[in-house]
Amino acid sequence: SQQGSIKSSIKRIGVSIQYNGLSFCGWQRQKGHLSIQGVLEEAIEKLDPYRPVKLIAAGRTDSGVHAAGQVAHFDVSGHIPAIRWASALNGRLPESIVIRESVCRPNDWHACHSAIYRRYRYTIYNGCNPNIFLTPWSWHKYRFRLDEELMKEALDGLLGFHDFSAFQRAGSTRSHSWTTIQDVHLQRKGDLIILDIQASGFLYGMVRLIVGQLVVIGEHKLSLEDFEYRWKNCQRDQIKEAAPSQGLSLIRVGYP
């Protein structure tokens, strides 16, 4: 009867998370490495020891990638109110991870499968001199002033439902490489070039490979025509440039 009582009291908690990804191997738990998922699951288990904890995220960010608006869910059977989970966890987490909000969600709600979009931002620092405050959060490209107008034109051409296998790193477990890029935005603010890209889902390494190509275009080393031919003809072997992880952040996940 005690097991039945615990089962009936199980509730699903949704959380909004920020993290600095520099010291982590990525979101997903990996044996022998420090992961965002691993640190969070250990903190949750200390507060709700009645059942094994599985934390499901909207997107599995790679090693070194940040998040300003990651979303995840977990099931608990204890008596902590949903809105109290954020403060309870923050008291047990390192400074590099913060729970912004915690809410109760229906038991059939899923942080990953219920999402209708993910939005990533990539920041390029295009100034001549290093900036210690920007280094952890951007890619410093200083040799050339990048042509953001060409980069924007190339990015706009990616909109829509396409086979993006040219921008998929090896090791992906997806059954196919088709997805929909819903929105893109690129602008320069002084020495900063800020790129936002929103899609229904992203392939493994997709954003960093796209940004790597855009930078080569911005340096006038790759034409728009060659870029379009590469990705539309799925020429993964021709796409060798990948942007470093520290400039990338998951900024928002959208739900109906």
Using alpha carbons, list the distances in angstroms from residue 104 to 74, 84, 107, 111: 10, 10, 9, 12
pLDDT surpassing 50 at residue 1: no
What is the per-residue pLDDT across 162-196, written as a single tens digit (0 to 9) for each? 999 999 988 777 788 999 999 999 999 999 999 99
Sign of CA dihedral 183, 186, 187, 190: positive
Token pair, residue 113, equals: 């499968």
pLDDT of 207-244, one tens digit each?
999 999 999 999 999 999 999 999 999 999 999 889 99
Tell me the pLDDT tens digit for each residue of 8-63: 588 999 999 999 999 999 999 999 999 999 999 999 999 998 778 999 999 999 99
pTM listed for this prediction: 0.93
Q: Please tell me the distance from the alpha carbon of residue 209 to that of residue 204, in angstroms, as a whole number.
A: 10
- Token pair for residue 88? 């309870």
Q: Catalytic amino acids?
A: 62
Q: Which of 185, 177, 195 is nearest to 236 (CA)?
A: 177
pLDDT for residue 151 is more than 60: yes
CA–CA dist 92, 95 (Å, integer): 10
* Residues in the chain, total: 256
pLDDT at 8: 55
Residue 81 contacts residue 221 (beta carbons within 8 Å)? no
**Position 78 confidence tier, pLDDT thresholds 50, 70, 90:** confident
**Local structure of 216: helix, strand or coil:** helix
What is the C-alpha separation between 5 and 123, in angstroms, rounded? Answer: 49
Predicted local confidence at residue 7, as pLDDT = 52
Per the structure block, which two tokens stand in for 143?
Answer: 């040799």
Average pLDDT over residues 147-173: 94
Return the ∠ at Cα 216 (arms to 127 and 184), rounded to 5°.
85
Bridge-based pairing state of the strands 178-189 and 11-19? unpaired
Write down the pLDDT at residue 9: 81
Nearest to 186 by CA among 216, 219, 218: 218
Task: Please choose, from the candidates 239, 240, 247, 254, the residue with its C-alpha nearest in 3D space to the C-alpha of residue 201.
Answer: 254
Q: How far, in Å, CA of 182 to CA of 179, rounded?
A: 9
Largest distance between two CA atoms of the chain:
70
Q: What's the DSSP call for residue 53? A: -
